[in-house]
Structure 1
Amino acid sequence: MPSNTPPGLPASGLSATGSETTLEEDILATRKMAPGGENYRAYVGPPQQYDFMGATQFRLVTSLGLREDHHLVDIGCGSLRAGRLLLQYLMPGRYTGIEPNSWLWQTAVAQEIGQDVLDIKAPRFFDESDLSLAGVADHSSDFIVAQSIYSHVGLDLLQSSLAAASRCLSQQGQFLFTAILADCAGAANKTKGSAYSGWLYPECTLFEEDAITEACQQSGLHVQKLSWYHPRQVWFRAVRDPDMCLTTHMVQQLGTGRPLFDTRFK
């Protein structure tokens, strides 16, 4: 995740012409922007789906057992798309965000979330681009989330990041991450991650499922593909303890998380 501070960001509550706008108008305006644009909501993905992509992560981790006293690491926390929900839910000091583009979460706090939330919930943020989780203690994390991180990396970063996550997970911990597989929509034009090194953004990489499984096994992780809905990628769940693997009955109880009554997702 290379650091990239975009120039010329407008001040909070101002349009490009300098006229005053409301927060609602600012948010609605982002929905017309292209993904990857120089805006804290657009930079992290399709801004039209910003609300959903945060909510679906929150629903997934809470469905899998996240509770307010757990510790969670959000790899690539960006503009706190999921973090704004997790911060409100978790007890103080339980949320850790990993993000080299610190302008993303700082702008979100200044324009939308509010400094009071950080003062009360005392999260930790690490400006880290190598996915090493160097600031996270061994076996300290109940949950680690990496949504749309491995869709931008080569095999080297995939392997090193999985090893770091394995080191940081508690014995009963869960690692939730997404990746683009060959059969995902639009995958045909993506770069093959197994033949690539480093970070690729805003372009995407894809992996074969076997490569992900092998990389997890090399890091001492047991991985399962989930049926949880994602509009462009596939969710995986990795654990250190094989007894923590989901049974068929658990998978059925978890469900697909597919959104209903939303024309954005048909």
Structure 2
Amino acid sequence: MTDKPDQSALEAEILDTRDTRPGAGNRRAYVGPPTQYDFMGATQFNLLTGLGLREEHHVVDIGCGSLRAGRYLMQYLLPGRYTGIDPNSWLWQEAIDKEIGADLIALKAPRLLDEADFRMTGVADDSADYIVAQSIYSHTGADLFTLSVAAAARCLSPTGQFLFTAILPDDAGVDRMPRGPAHEGWLYPGCLSFAEADVSAVCSAAGLHVQRLAWYHPRQTWFRAIRDPALRMTEEMFATLGTGKPLFDKRF
């Protein structure tokens, strides 16, 4: 029998992080429940590839944080195809230093933008094949939500797809949560909820056609928005995509 290898310093640090409360000043805990860090990155990658993402496409990751999804996307995409945006640059810098490595960054040449105004000023018009914003609009009031969706619509290519989450009134844990339309600015680590009609109205005002997805999320709801209504998903497409809910894992 082969002896189990000694636990590395990185593994020990990551396992210790799992006892940290969400929102704490740790690169993994700061962006959400640290016990779900691996899954929450992987589920975004699986959703994107299930909706047609291929290595030649350009992806913009709004609120990329500590590259929870970015570490999967950078390795998959061709060089220069990944753009991450986050005002907390220490998150991605620490992730690169401790988990991802400078060699991968040099090889895949991602663009990492320190921007806080949701205007996506560093992204060209009509350039993004996929834009993803996971658990961003769960922390924005109506003003920032509207601003961000309008910016995403500007940057999205004519055939591009914008995938994002929001907390709806029927999602778990919403009872005492403030309503997004009654709030302005950014709220973190607290959360805000929007009615599905609010989400539809914001997308429509930006010239986007939105559909709710059944893709699994432990606390929120996924949406898919496109510029061309001909690219709306059919019931057959929804069935083919599935729900993405993990099996054989008691955490979910």
- Aligned residue for 2:35, secondary structure, equals helix
Mapped to 1, the partners of 2:250 and 2:96 lie a distance apart of: 29
Please give the alpha-carbon distance, in whole angstroms, between the structure 1 residues aligned to 2:17 and 2:230: 44
SS of residue paired to 1:132: coil
Give distance in 2, aligned partners of 1:25 and 1:101: 25
Q: Does 2:39 match 1:43?
A: no
Tell me the equivalent position of 1:90: 77
Q: Which residue of 1 aligns with 2:230?
A: 243
Which secondary structure does the structure 1 equivalent of 2:29 belong to? Answer: coil
3-state secondary structure, aligned to 2:251: coil
Aligned: 1:255 with 2:242: yes
2:176 maps to 1:154: no
Question: Shift of the alpha carbon at 1:217?
Answer: 0.2
Distance 1:21 1:44 in 2: 24
Give the whole-Å Cα distance in 2 for the aligned partners of 1:233 and 1:189: 15
Instruction: Report 1:1-266 matches (<5 A).
Output: 22-265=9-252
Once the two structures are TM-superposed, the CA of residue 21 in structure 1 deviates from its matched residue by: 6.4
Structure 1: stretches of 5+ with no match in the other structure: 1-19
One-letter amino acid of the structure 2 residue matched with residue 262 of structure 1: D
Q: Structure 1 residue 218: deviation in Å?
A: 0.2
C-alpha distance in structure 2 between counterparts of 1:212 and 1:260, whole Å? 30
Given residue 63 of structure 1, which amino acid in structure 2 is its aligned partner? G
Partners of 1:228 and 1:136 lie apart in 2 by 27
* Deviating 4+ runs (over 6 angstroms): none
TM-score, scaled relative to structure 1: 0.92
Q: Secondary structure at the match of 1:157?
A: helix
State the one-letter code of the partner of 2:16: A
Question: Aligned-pair RMSD on alpha carbons?
Answer: 0.9
- Per-residue deviation, 1:189: 1.2
For 1:229, give the aligned amino acid: Y
Instruction: Give 1:246 shift.
Output: 0.3
Between Structure 1 and Structure 2, how many residues are aligned? 246
Q: What do residues 56-98 of structure 1 show as CA deviations (whole Å, max 9, x unaligned)?
A: 0000000000000000000000000000000000000000000
The residue type equivalent to 2:13 in the other structure is D
Q: Which amino acid aligns with 2:30?
A: Y
Corresponding letter in the other structure for 2:202: A
Corresponding residue for residue 4 of structure 1: none
Q: Which amino acid aligns with 1:60?
A: L
Q: 1:206 is paired with a residue of what secondary structure?
A: coil
Deviation of the 1:125 alpha carbon: 1.1
Q: Note the residue ranges of structure 2 that are not aligned, 5 or more in a row.
A: 1-6
